[in-house]
A and B are shown apart, each in its own frame.
Chain A
Amino acid sequence: MLLRAGDLGVLLAGAGLVAALTVFAWSGDRGDTAVIRAAGQVIQTTALTHAQRFSVSGPLGATQIEIEPGRARIARDPSPRQLCVKQGWLTQSGQAALCLPNQVSLEIRGRTPAYDTLGY
């Protein structure tokens, strides 16, 4: 007998893994570019290909931005409520972390922009 009951289970689990990976890697629009703004001006546009760190100064102090392959986040920010830091890693095109008190924003862009324009 070539296939036993467990073999079918393993094959199905394998197919499930392949399907899950397909959804994970190919669905949605994973962003490939990070756009960093300070006081409304774009100050840095960088590809999400390798680890980088940026420090952007605003009215309250310095905002640390961390870029890693495929994702980006605000690592540290002087804003009182830390909302943009708590957003964590951004991966999808159109996602943005806004540090309003410090007037710094980080936006992820993909090949096809999710929105024509965003007003904050």
Chain B
Amino acid sequence: MTRLAIELPVTPDDRRIARLAALAIGLTLAEAAIPSPLPGVKPGLANIVILLVLLQYGWRTAAWVSGLRVLGGGILLGSLFAPGFWLSATGAFVSLAVLALARHLPSRHFGPVSLSVLAAFGHIGGQVALAGLWLLPSAALLKLLPLFAAAALIFGAVNGVIVARVLAAPASDRRQSVPCTHP
């Protein structure tokens, strides 16, 4: 008898990445509903998840979650492979690259707030660089740079404080430590 169902082996790691990516995608969708006066200025709530994953499970898992978040968010928002998708992907990529370096900072002095602010600057930096090179090669973008940078600083700091508080909370409060049950 031939087996019709192809079963791929799923490791606990895969389940964890899928669960966290779903959480990040959920936040991305919720955030898309928030009106923004300037495209590109967003709270970046999904970055809270990425940062928590980075600090708890390492950079590789964070990169997976971030990549799936960009892809899943693109599919669900209907912007897959549209300019907005590439901006999002570039921002996520640069932000991950910044985090890869920044996580080696001594943790005695640099907490989640530092990582979050640096990641936020990486995010908006990557997006503005791509937008400037590809979409809007004009001087107008230059005038918006201070606004983008200020938004990155504020939202990065707020997200960082949220991450620090979640990490400081007792482990029993954290949904993330609940094992994933297979139906």
Contact = CB atoms under 8 A, between A and B. Distances in A.
Interface of A: 1-7, 9-11, 14-15, 17-18, 21-22, 24-26, 30, 32, 48-50, 69-70
Contact of B114 (A10, A17, A30, A48): A10
Given A2-B111, A6-B106, A10-B114, A17 B137 contact: no
Closest A-B pairs by Cβ, 8 of them: A70-B139, A6-B109, A6-B110, A22-B146, A7-B113, A10-B114, A14-B153, A4-B111
A interface SS class: helix
B122 to A, nearest CB: 12
B111 A26 contact: no
A71 B149 CA distance: 23
Contacts, number: 80
A18 B149 contact: yes
B142 A70 contact: yes
Contact of B121 (A17, A48, A49): A17
A53 to B, nearest CB: 16
A69 B110 contact: no
Nearest to B163: A2
B174 interface: no
Given A2-B165, A6-B106, A26 B143 contact: yes
